Structure 1
Amino acid sequence: MVEVLHPSRVAIVIAAGGRGERIGGDKPARILAGRSMLERAIDAAQTWGDTIAIAVSEPGQAAPSDLPILFDSAENLGPISALASAFRFAGEQHCSHVLLVACDMPFLHRDLLPRLAAAIGGKGAALPVASGHLQAMAGLWRVAPDELAAFIAQGGRSLRRFAEAQEALEIQWPTDGSGDAFEDIDDLTQLREAEARLSQ
């Protein structure tokens, strides 16, 4: 029988390295209903655990915080760099797994980590699937820095492709009528729509 993963063995890393050009730049600092998107992501992370860090691609992307700031080790690799930083941080914290979440997903449910942790078993990752879409930026990963380094060295850049290589478990996520829990914010129109949703 595979032991159920306890959330205390999971590091939580917020990916905040996107430039946010379609939203006017500095996406983590964009204000959503009175608070920055990064602040909202930190609040969500704190409901899942205490071992939390923020991954950025360049200095200045995250406002001063008590949380560790992780800098991408390689440029222009996209979200896969955040996962590499997350694996490094998790290893330093003696965590076996990492929950990687994007800073621009303000509607993630509090049961995200408990559900993924209960399901992952011995798999290399557990990723939600909502409305037919795999949510690689809200997933639980077994810490595997050597496998990820080899994947990147071979030209791999896609989180989804790495998830396939890790035999990721896909978790179908039900909708509850309150809207898409994995909605992300990439432009000003989506920002306004998210503000309207939060005001309901």
Structure 2
Amino acid sequence: MSSAVQYPTPPVHEITGLVLAGGRGTRMGGVDKGLQPFRGEPLVAHALRRLAPQTTALMISANRSLPAYRGYGVPVHADALPDYPGPLAGLLSGLQHCRTPYLVSVPCDTPLFPLDLVARLADALGHAGADIAVARSGDRLQPVFCLLKTTLAGSLMRYLASGERRIAYWTAQHARVEVPFDPPSAFFNANTLEELQELERVHE
């Protein structure tokens, strides 16, 4: 009788963190979202500080204000494609520059994401033998919070070249495991300046 196949959990030293800050910020009036203040610091600073102990290296995906982002002392990479085609373009750029077997991504506008995000994604990915682990809060998938193998760069490049932009559709094309997190409020993202102010009030 054969035993079940055991897959290793990706260790921290094999995971690079990517903060996605390359959007247009349309719903914030066109401002650079990652540089908007939250508790006295830019949103990107919160994301980097929260992600740093969970990974071995960090990168930022940004298309504007590059000197400001480089001031955080980590590599900053612009989208691999022009005209702000969405988070998948930033993810592709991260995959192309990643020097570890795994990349984990988080958006810049969700400053309170779980402190055990990466550990739980990595554990689920290893147990399932999956290519991608994606966070889920309640009944909502959070596809920009994902851990994936860097070998998927070619697949993502072809997907974007086809004109598709939906991140959940692309991740569904691979061996994907969904990882539940509570409470859902940990994934509250600020799309407008009003929502950012509300987030600061609620979590003072």
With normalisation by structure 1, the TM-score equals 0.90
In the alignment, the residues of structure 2 paired with residue 13 and residue 185 of structure 1 have an alpha-carbon distance, to the nearest angstrom, of: 18
Residue 13 of structure 2 corresponds to residue 8 of structure 1: yes
Cα-to-partner distance string for 1:138-162 (whole Å, 9 max, x where unaligned): 1111111111112112222111111
In the alignment, the residues of structure 2 paired with residue 68 and residue 7 of structure 1 have an alpha-carbon distance, to the nearest angstrom, of: 19
In the TM superposition, 1:13-52 aligns within 5 A as 13-24=18-29, 25-52=31-58
SS at match of 1:109: coil
Deviation at 1:59, TM superposition (A): 5.0
Partner of residue 124 from structure 1, selected from 102, 120, 131 = 131
In the alignment, the residues of structure 2 paired with residue 23 and residue 151 of structure 1 have an alpha-carbon distance, to the nearest angstrom, of: 28
Partner of residue 72 from structure 2, selected from 60, 65, 88 = 65
Structure 1: runs of 5+ lacking an equivalent? none
User: 1:133 corresponds to which residue?
Assistant: 140
Deviation at 1:174, TM superposition (A): 2.7
Instruction: Answer yes or no: is the 8 Å Cα contact 2:15–2:56 preserved in 1.
Output: no
User: 1:167 corresponds to which residue?
Assistant: 175
In the alignment, the residues of structure 2 paired with residue 145 and residue 49 of structure 1 have an alpha-carbon distance, to the nearest angstrom, of: 20
In the alignment, the residues of structure 1 paired with residue 170 and residue 57 of structure 2 have an alpha-carbon distance, to the nearest angstrom, of: 24
User: 1:97 corresponds to which residue?
Assistant: 102
In the alignment, the residues of structure 2 paired with residue 68 and residue 62 of structure 1 have an alpha-carbon distance, to the nearest angstrom, of: 9
Structure 2: runs of 5+ lacking an equivalent? 1-5
Instruction: Answer yes or no: is the 8 Å Cα contact 1:33–1:198 preserved in 2.
Output: no
Percent identity over the alignment?
23
CA RMSD of aligned residues (A): 1.5
Residue 76 of structure 2 corresponds to residue 54 of structure 1: no
